[in-house]
């Protein structure tokens, strides 16, 4: 090696050392001026510390008998778990990687979270989420160094401390980045498996490590209706084969979570929208719950409930007349309708039919929205069912009253 090359290498090494020292000094100075408490730590670091304090095993162990766990409100309250729920639990307990796919807003992520909570006896901090996109970096998956120091990846945390790793919107990952998951997914059922994190540290797999992916496609194709989804290498798809579930609208869940007025309105909108097979629009559980929240506020204001807040700008004199104004279910519905093309919008308003709240007849959009606003008795009954509270008083209903 010539002297000039040796000198160049020495200069590069010295420059790198100087940069590392400068970064360390910057971090040290910043930390010296900032009091560090548990509350201002990164959430991932908090979970690591808490796991160490409880014996280093991380999350609560998965119960041997999962049916003994507390079923989460989102999927199984007061009813038997759905068939898909049971199958997903079986898969995860047997260390199979699960993949849930289907239209946006059908409850895939909700189902994954509910299963995680169920397996961990009601512990709502029993999962890690990697929100996937084309911008997801290796550091977010397996950890790595940044200007702030080392940051743990979501795969790394779930692997080391146990719990369900939810890969949300998995098909949106760049196919090359997605390859970083392959080793961990292939070893999910292996005892004594070891994963190397972004710092080069070898980490033994926690016995409660599990994986559930979710997305709009089956990962083998792309879809014009869901932009940003990539066709994944089959080596990734193969790690989920045998445990892939198509998740469609969950009508019983919608019935349990929504007001009757919102259900009838939403189902009528959905039926009309679905006439166009390739429609990019959809009435999902997510959109129904948006309608639900606004309808509840509108009706609580209508009955002058102490649980409602007055619309912005309401004066004292206005308040005596009642809570007038603010957003309504009709506003929410038209906010959706107005995003349609002019022809579809007009056709929906004129042709769509909805089950009446007052009769067995089918009615048009304006009628169902008017019935929704005027049927206070139905709202009050639904409010008791959904919240256990009396809308007029804001008080909890006694159990004997509930039964009657």
Q: Does domain 66-246 have CATH number 1.20.1260.10?
A: no
Confidence tier at 54 by pLDDT (50, 70, 90): very low
**Cβ–Cβ under 8 Å, residues 98 and 240:** yes
Express each pLDDT in 260-300 by its tens digit. 999 999 999 999 998 887 777 889 888 999 999 999 999 99
**Cβ–Cβ under 8 Å, residues 248 and 102:** yes
Express each pLDDT in 230-262 by its tens digit. 788 898 999 999 999 998 888 888 999 999 999
Show me where the domains of the chain are located.
Answer: 66-246, 251-403
Closest CA to 93 of 20, 164, 169: 164
Q: Give the distance, in angstroms, between the CA of residue 120 and the centroid of all CA atoms in the same chain.
A: 18
pLDDT at 279: 78
Q: What is the DSSP string of 337-359?
A: HTTS-HHHHHHHHHH--EE-SSS
pTM over 0.75: no
DSSP character for 211? E
pLDDT at 16: 66
Which helix (H) or strand (E) segment holds residue 251: the answer is helix 251-257
Half-sphere exposure of 262 (CA within 13 A, CB side): 32
Express each pLDDT in 9-44 by its tens digit. 667 666 666 666 766 676 666 656 655 555 555 544
């Amino acid at each position: 090696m010539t002297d000039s090359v040796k000198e160049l290498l020495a200069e590069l090494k010295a420059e790198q050392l100087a940069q590392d020292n400068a970064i360390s000094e910057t971090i040290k100075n910043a930390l010296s001026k900032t009091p560090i408490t548990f509350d201002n730590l990164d959430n991932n670091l908090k979970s690591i510390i808490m796991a160490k304090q409880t014996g280093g095993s991380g999350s609560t162990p998965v119960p041997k008998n999962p049916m003994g766990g507390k079923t989460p409100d989102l999927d199984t309250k007061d009813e038997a778990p759905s068939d898909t729920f049971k199958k997903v639990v079986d898969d995860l307990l047997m260390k199979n990687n699960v993949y849930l796919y289907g239209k946006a807003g059908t409850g895939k992520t909700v189902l994954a979270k509910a299963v995680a909570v169920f397996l961990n006896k009601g512990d709502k901090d029993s999962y890690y989420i990697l929100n996937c996109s084309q911008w997801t970096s290796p550091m977010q998956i397996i950890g790595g160094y940044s200007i702030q120091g080392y940051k743990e990846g979501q795969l790394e945390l779930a692997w080391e401390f146990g719990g369900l790793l939810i890969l949300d919107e998995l098909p949106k990952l760049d196919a090359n980045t997605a390859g970083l998951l392959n080793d961990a997914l292939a070893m999910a059922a292996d005892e004594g498996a070891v994963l190397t994190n972004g710092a080069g540290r070898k980490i033994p797999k926690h016995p409660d490590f599990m994986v559930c992916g979710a997305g709009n496609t089956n990962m083998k194709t792309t879809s014009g209706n869901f932009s940003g989804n990539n066709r994944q290498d089959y080596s990734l798809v193969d790690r989920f084969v045998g445990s892939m579930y198509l998740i469609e609208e969950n009508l019983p869940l919608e019935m349990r979570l929504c007001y009757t007025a919102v259900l009838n309105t939403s189902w009528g909108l959905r039926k009309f929208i679905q006439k166009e097979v390739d429609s990019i629009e959809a009435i999902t559980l997510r959109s129904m719950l948006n309608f639900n929240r606004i309808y509840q506020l509108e009706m609580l204001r209508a009955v002058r409930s102490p649980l409602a807040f007055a619309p912005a700008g309401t004066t004292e004199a206005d308040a005596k007349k009642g809570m007038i104004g603010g957003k309504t279910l009709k506003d929410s519905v038209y906010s959706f309708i107005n995003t349609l093309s002019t022809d579809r919008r007009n056709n929906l308003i004129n042709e769509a039919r909805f089950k009446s709240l007052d009769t067995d007849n089918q009615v048009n959009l304006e009628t169902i929205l008017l019935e929704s606003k005027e049927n206070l008795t139905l709202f009050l009954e639904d409010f008791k069912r959904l919240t256990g509270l009396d809308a007029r008083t804001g008080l909890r209903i006694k159990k004997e009253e509930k039964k009657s």
